[in-house]
């Protein structure tokens, strides 16, 4: 692993400045193998340059590198979650600053509303969307009709879709026909397909939470930068991979 050379700073000093404790504690973190530089376990005396090097302590990256931006957008309906739409429809990146170039993290359908992270941080985006880190996403779904206990139980336990059975989800009916659904997978049109599969198609879908991030004040079409604390909290949320769920045996009958 290459050092940042004489231009870099001693790793322990960088850690101490990032608030990880006194010099001795930071020495112990490095000696104990808790610290990685550019993905490799660091050794004592390592020098780093945060403009170029990524430093992680127990999987959580320290500092926010210059040039990286993180926006929280409340996506309105009628906007595509892409940087460029061949059909010329409005895109989410047109709703945030154009420089530096950014991309959406994951996907909300054209008609889905709610919170979306837009960034130029490829590493965080990868972790946020990769199923092995699968963070919770909470939706409010207005469905046609009011699901009964069996339908709710199926949604919670897993629904057979054409791309496999969904993982267990948290589902509650906050008012007749209004479901709060929390999933950690990110399959295409997953919530809509789950509700459709149990006989209650979605009429309106809004994402209210992405892992630790929520914002009740952000109006549709508005965005704001994430705070450094929010970025750190997000990184902490995706610092470790999720234990894969124990696969459930296939269901026999197609209950409703």
**Tokens linked to 53:** 């090097």
Residue that has been written with the tokens 């397909």 in this structure: 193
**Tokens linked to 217:** 């004040």
Q: Which is nearer to ligand URA, 162 or 229 (CB)?
A: 162
Write down the least CB distance from residue 166 to ligand URA, Å: 11
Out of 36, 130, 189, 224, the residue judged to bind ligand URA by CB under 6 A: 189
In contact, 222 and 74? CB cutoff 8 Å: yes
Catalytic residue among 109, 111, 136, 215: 109
* Count of residues touching ligand URA (by CB under 6 A): 8
Q: If binding is defined by CB under 6 A, does position 179 make contact with ligand URA?
A: no
State how far the Cα of 95 lies from the Cα of 246, in Å rounded to an integer: 40
Q: Which is nearer to ligand URA, 10 or 193 (CB)?
A: 193
Write down the least CB distance from residue 179 to ligand URA, Å: 12
Q: Which is nearer to ligand URA, 50 or 80 (CB)?
A: 80
Q: Which residues contact 211 (CB under 8 A, 6 or more apart)?
A: 128, 135, 136, 137, 233, 234, 237, 238
Write down the least CB distance from residue 225 to ligand URA, Å: 23
Pick out residues in 15-74 that bind ligand URA (CB under 6 A). Answer: none
Q: Which is nearer to ligand URA, 47 or 75 (CB)?
A: 75
State how far the Cα of 159 lies from the Cα of 196, in Å rounded to an integer: 10
Among the residue ranges 11-19, 82-90, 184-192, 247-255, the one whose residues contact ligand URA (CB under 6 A): 184-192
Write down the least CB distance from residue 16 to ligand URA, Å: 42
State how far the Cα of 67 lies from the Cα of 175, in Å rounded to an integer: 44
In contact, 71 and 224? CB cutoff 8 Å: yes
Task: State yes or no: is 51 an active-site residue.
Answer: no
Out of 4, 205, 213, 238, the residue judged to bind ligand URA by CB under 6 A: 205
Beta-strand runs (E) in the chain: 9-10, 35-37, 40-41, 47-48, 55-57, 60-61, 70-75, 103-104, 113-119, 137-143, 160-161, 164-165, 170-175, 178-183, 202-210, 223-225
Pick out residues in 107-136 that bind ligand URA (CB under 6 A). Answer: 108-109, 112
- Count Cα neighbours of 217 within 13 Å in the Cβ-side half-sphere: 1
Among the residue ranges 34-42, 55-63, 186-194, 214-222, the one whose residues contact ligand URA (CB under 6 A): 186-194
State how far the Cα of 141 lies from the Cα of 86, in Å rounded to an integer: 29
Out of 191, 197, 210, 238, the residue judged to bind ligand URA by CB under 6 A: 191
Out of 61, 154, 192, 209, the residue judged to bind ligand URA by CB under 6 A: 192
Residue 68: Cβ-neighbour burial (10 angstroms; 0-12, 13-18, 19+): middle
Q: If binding is defined by CB under 6 A, does position 208 make contact with ligand URA?
A: no
Binding-site ranges for ligand URA (CB under 6 A) = 108-109, 112, 189-192, 205
Active-site residues, by number, are: 109
């Amino acid at each position: 692993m290459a050092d940042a050379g004489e231009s870099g700073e001693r790793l322990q000093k960088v850690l101490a400045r990032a608030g990880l404790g006194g010099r001795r504690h930071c020495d112990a973190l490095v000696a104990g193998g808790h610290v990685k530089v550019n993905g490799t376990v660091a050794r004592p005396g390592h020098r780093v340059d945060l403009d170029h090097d990524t430093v992680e302590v127990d999987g959580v990256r320290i500092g926010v590198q210059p040039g990286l931006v993180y926006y929280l957008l409340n996506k309105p309906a009628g906007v595509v979650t892409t940087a460029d739409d061949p059909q010329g429809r409005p895109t989410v990146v047109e709703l945030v600053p154009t420089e530096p170039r950014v991309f959406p993290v994951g996907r909300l359908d054209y008609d889905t509303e709610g919170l979306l992270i837009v960034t130029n941080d490829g590493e965080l985006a990868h972790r946020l969307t990769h199923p092995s880190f699968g963070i919770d996403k909470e939706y409010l779904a207005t469905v046609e009709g009011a699901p009964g206990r069996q339908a709710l139980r199926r949604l919670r336990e897993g629904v057979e879709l054409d791309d496999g059975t969904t993982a267990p989800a948290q589902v509650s009916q906050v008012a007749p026909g209004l479901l709060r659904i929390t999933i950690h997978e990110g399959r295409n049109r997953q919530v809509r397909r789950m509700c459709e599969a149990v006989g209650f198609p979605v009429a309106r879908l809004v994402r209210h939470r992405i892992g630790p991030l929520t914002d009740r004040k952000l109006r549709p079409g508005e965005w704001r930068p994430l705070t450094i604390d929010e970025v750190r909290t997000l990184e902490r949320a995706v610092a470790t991979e999720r234990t894969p769920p124990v696969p459930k045996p296939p269901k026999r009958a197609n209950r409703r």
